[in-house]
Amino acid sequence: MTTFDDREKGFEKKFALDQDLKFRAEARRNKLLAEWAAAKLGITGAALEDYVRSVLKADLQEKGDEDVFRKIHSDFAAAGVSIPDADIRAQMAECLAKAVGEIEGSR
């Protein structure tokens, strides 16, 4: 193997690890976000677990974060909870930062 081949394999490994970290961080972010939203909606107990699963499932609808945002936004609207879009997006960013910190701390 040449040095180029070794570097290429190294980049491929790093890409795979980065993708894994991104997936795990987004999943954890969605769980934290769902718990935050559930608290605002007054959801507790077994219904909380169901709500978390519904948010995690919503993330599979399309690429990116908009599907999760729409789910949370529509749930707030349906329940008559008035939370500005900017606050939801800020909470998404905060939950992602916390999720990344938790994952990196567990390494």
Q: How confident is the model at residue 12 (pLDDT cuts 50, 70, 90)?
A: confident
Mean pLDDT lowest for which of 36-40, 94-98, 103-107?
103-107
CATH topology assigned to domain 26-105: Major Prion Protein (1.10.790)
Residues 6+ apart with CB under 8 A from 85: 69, 73
Residues of the chain above pLDDT 70, percent: 97
Residue 88 clears pLDDT 90, i.e. is over it: yes
How is the chain split into domains, by residue range? 26-105
CA–CA distance, 48 with 41 (Å, rounded to integer): 10
Mean pLDDT of 11-38: 89
- 46 CB burial (10 A radius; 0-12, 13-18, 19+): exposed
Q: How confident is the model at residue 1 (pLDDT cuts 50, 70, 90)?
A: low
